[in-house]
Amino acid sequence: MVLETKQAGPIGVFDSGFGGLSILREIRKVLPQYDYLFLGDNARAPYGNRSFDLVYEFTLQAVKHLFSKGCHLVILACNTASAKALRSIQQRDLPVIAPTRRVLGVIRPTVEKVGDITHTGHIGIFGTPGTIQSGSYNIEINKLHPNFKVYGQACPMWVPLVENQESDGPGADYFVQKYINALLEQCDDIDSVILGCTHYPLLMGKIRQYMPQHVTVIPQGEIVAESLADYLRRHPEMECRCRRGGTCHYLTTEDAEKFDSLAGIFVNEQVHAEKITL
Ligand code: DGL
C-alpha cells in the first residue's frame, strides 16, 4: 500500500522514452504554473512491439515510482501504455495501492475531439503496432460514436526515423508515403486522421505533404493539454494536490547524458535528467 499524503506534489508524466516530451511540452504551454516530473523508460523503449503483460508491468512500475516521488496525478503520455496498461491500472491497481491518486491517458481525450472534426465519420489512426493491435482507439471512438468507422494503420518505422533524427531525410519520405497509402487504401472516405503516437508530430511536415488536402491530421499534444486543464478545473480536490512552481525535472532509466542530448529533438530547452532504476 502506497503511503497516502495530502502534501502537494508534481504532476507526473510518463512515457516509454522521449516521445512523451512532445506531450509534456504542450501541457506546460497550457499549464505552466505547475511542477512536473517526467519519467522516460528509455532503457526498455520502445514499447510499441511489446506484449500486453510487459507494457502493463513496466508502466505500473513507472507509475509507482512517480507516486513514491510525491505525484498525485500521473499522465501516461504514451499511446502504447495508455492502450495496454491504463485500464488495468485504473481499475485493478489504484484502488489497492493509491485510492486517492489518479492516472490518466492520452487516448480518451483525443477521441473526444474527433466528433467535432470529422464529416464522413471515417477516421484513420496511425500508431505503433501495439496501439493498433490493441484496438483501443476503435473501442473508445465507438463508445462515443457507434456509427463511426475506424481504420488503424501501424507505422513501425516512424518512431525509429524520429529517434535517429531522420525526420527530414529521404527515408522519411518513403515511409510516410507508404503508411499514408496503406491507410487510404483501406477506405477513400477517411477525412480525419489521428496521430496516435507521441513521435508522429515530429513528422508532421512530411505527413501534411503527402496526405490529401481534404484530410485533417490531428496531433494530440494540444488536445491532451486542454483536456488536463479541464480535468483540473472539474477536480479541485486534485488540483490543490498539484504543486505550483513552474519547474520540470526529468528521470530516465537509461544514460542521463544520452537523454539530455536527445531530448532536444522534442523540447527547445536544455534538460538535465537523473538516471533511476525501476
Ligand atoms: N511513446 C510510444 C507511443 O506513443 C511510442 C514509442 C514506443 O514504441 O515506445 O506509442
pLDDT tens digits for range 173-230: 999 999 999 999 999 999 999 999 999 999 999 999 999 999 999 999 999 999 999 9
- Tens-digit pLDDT profile for residues 55-99: 999 999 999 999 999 999 999 999 999 999 999 999 999 999 999
Q: Report the first-to-last Cα separation within the chain, whole angstroms.
A: 17
**Which residue's C-alpha cell is 502534501?**
7
Q: Domain check: are 260 and 210 in the same one? A: no
**Residue 4, domain member (yes or no):** no
Ligand 1 centroid, distance to 233 Cα (angstroms):
29
Catalytic residue among 71, 155, 187, 197: 197
Q: Measure the CA–CA gap between 142 and 256, rounded to whole angstroms.
A: 41
3-state secondary structure of 157: coil
Q: Domain check: are 101 and 113 in the same one? A: no
Q: Domain check: are 99 and 130 in the same one? A: no
**Residue 152, domain member (yes or no):** yes
Q: Measure the CA–CA gap between 56 and 36, rounded to whole angstroms.
A: 23
**Residue 215, domain member (yes or no):** yes
**Which residue's C-alpha cell is 491500472?**
89
C-alpha cell read off for 9: 506534489
Ligand 1 neighbours, Cβ below 6 Å, are 15-17, 19, 45-48, 78-80, 128, 131, 159, 197-199
Ligand 1 centroid, distance to 240 Cα (angstroms):
30
Ligand 1 centroid, distance to 81 Cα (angstroms):
8
Helical (H) or strand (E) element with 80: helix 79-84
**Residue 5, domain member (yes or no):** no
**Residue 2, domain member (yes or no):** no
Q: Domain check: are 114 and 214 in the same one? A: yes
DSSP sequence for 53-75: HHHHHHHHHHHHHHHHTT-SEEE
- Tens-digit pLDDT profile for residues 13-48: 999 999 999 999 999 999 999 999 999 999 999 999
Q: Whose CA is nearest to atom 8 of ligand 1?
A: 48
- Look up 197 and say whether it is catalytic: yes
Q: Are strands 102-104 and 73-76 parallel, antiparallel or unpaired?
A: parallel
**Residue 3, domain member (yes or no):** no
Choose the final residue of a domain: 191, 219, 247. Answer: 219
Choose the final residue of a domain: 200, 219, 238. Answer: 219
Q: Whose CA is nearest to atom 7 of ligand 1?
A: 46
The CATH number of the domain holding residue 73 is: 3.40.50.1860
Ligand 1 atom nearest residue 83's Cα: 10
**Residue 115, domain member (yes or no):** yes
Cα–Cα nearest to 104, from 194, 226, 245: 226
The answer to whether 124 touches 165, Cβ cutoff 8 Å, is: no
Question: How many structural domains compose the chain?
Answer: 2
Q: Whose CA is nearest to atom 2 of ligand 1?
A: 78
The answer to whether 128 touches 154, Cβ cutoff 8 Å, is: yes
pLDDT for 2 beyond 60: no
Q: Domain check: are 251 and 210 in the same one? A: no
Q: Domain check: are 81 and 170 in the same one? A: no
Ligand 1 atom nearest residue 198's Cα: 4
**Residue 242, domain member (yes or no):** yes
Range of the domain at 126: 108-219
pLDDT for 260 beyond 70: yes
Q: Domain check: are 95 and 184 in the same one? A: no
